[in-house]
Amino acid sequence: DQIVEEEFLAVRMTAGQDDGRPNRRLTDFILHDETGAAQPLEMLEINDLFITGLILPLEGSVDKKKEEGVRCEGFGRIESWDISGYEDGSPVIWISTDIADYNCQKAAASYKKYYDHFFEKARACLEVYKKLAKSSGGDPDISLDELLAGMARSMSGSKYFSGTVSLKEFIISQGGFIYKQLIGLELKANDKGFEDIPALIALRDESKKQANFASAQVMPSNATLKIGSGTVDEEKKNQMDSVDEDEDAKLARLLQEEENWNSRKQRKNPRSSSSSNKFYIKINEDEIANDYPLPAYYKTSLQETDEFIVFDNDYDVYDIEDLPRSMLHNWALYNSDSRLISLELLPMKPCSEIDVTIFG
């Protein structure tokens, strides 16, 4: 890889079939301030941020080993960022300078903790979009509880969360961020405006409520306590909705987010490290096909409720022995295609190598 000092040279040396404004891929990157200290992308709202990384043509090469990029240090500044990929179901983070737009790929190892956090926030935006947009098979009329349950299920494979509760906490904490991203999207013909969707509004308000509670917890002891009428309180609420955060509040929020993120990673399920040593002998469907009837599909006309709503468990379970126990009647097991499936395909004990997904 070559190294250049000027961004415009790096962009020129990695030119592809540009039609208008240049688009490039960015990998092994760090976003930092003027002093070179790594910073979260959202700090752009407060300070100037710059980029150090490897610039590549937007179109990837078939032979990754022969793919050459140009490294550039401290270029920018970053003017804006954006999230795309709503239609594809996988978030793509873009950052823009005066010269080009960059598709962020793999962050440098030293910057990974910042980028992983932002990427999970972007993924939460996409998952909420899929749950609420009719064009993506979503339902704009679901409740906040149903939205959170669906989110906890769709993001449950993330390695950054220890369980349902930490996932829900994270999603609620990002309610304002998610709301801002979705209301800025262009709507498709059949989609309802996101600013009018009750579950999204409730998510934003719940996030704001928790943020206000957290800030009240650290209110100085010499602060003056004022008791006002409901009318005044409502006026204050309206003012809060209309006034943006000042820089101190933004900085405090971002620092608190980072602290919460690091705390969640530390609370990650302790079984995950030891379970990697467990394995099981996989049963192939062909081996047991003669023991069962011909394939059939699960069908129901009943309204179904998500398991997370039924139990409403406000805790994370670290041991299978601590799970709630219930009776199951009139039940069926099926795969992602709704085809009825045998319990034989699952191991009897939890292990890390399971590659079969069964629903009930």
Top pLDDT among 101 and 212 is at 101
Q: What pLDDT was estimated at residue 239? A: 42
Top pLDDT among 212 and 45 is at 45
Amino acid at residue number 149: A
Q: What pLDDT was estimated at residue 249? A: 73
Across 174-188, 240-254, 273-287, 302-316, the highest mean pLDDT is recorded for 174-188
CB 345 within 8 A of CB 357: no
Q: What pLDDT was estimated at residue 235? A: 46
Residue with tokens 């009318």: 231
CB 133 within 8 A of CB 141: no
In this predicted model, what pLDDT tens digit does every residue of 105-161 receive, in sequence order?
A: 999 999 998 999 999 999 999 999 999 999 988 999 999 999 998 888 888 777 777
Top pLDDT among 170 and 309 is at 170
In this predicted model, what pLDDT tens digit does every residue of 17-51 receive, in sequence order?
A: 767 899 999 999 999 999 999 999 989 988 999 99
Average pLDDT, the chain: 81
CA distances from 169 to 112, 225, 314, 315 (A): 22, 29, 10, 11
In this predicted model, what pLDDT tens digit does every residue of 278-337 receive, in sequence order?
A: 555 666 777 777 778 888 899 877 778 877 777 765 555 556 677 778 888 888 888 878
* Strand order, beta sheet including 70-76: 2-4, 70-76, 50-57, 23-32, 101-104, 92-96, 80-84
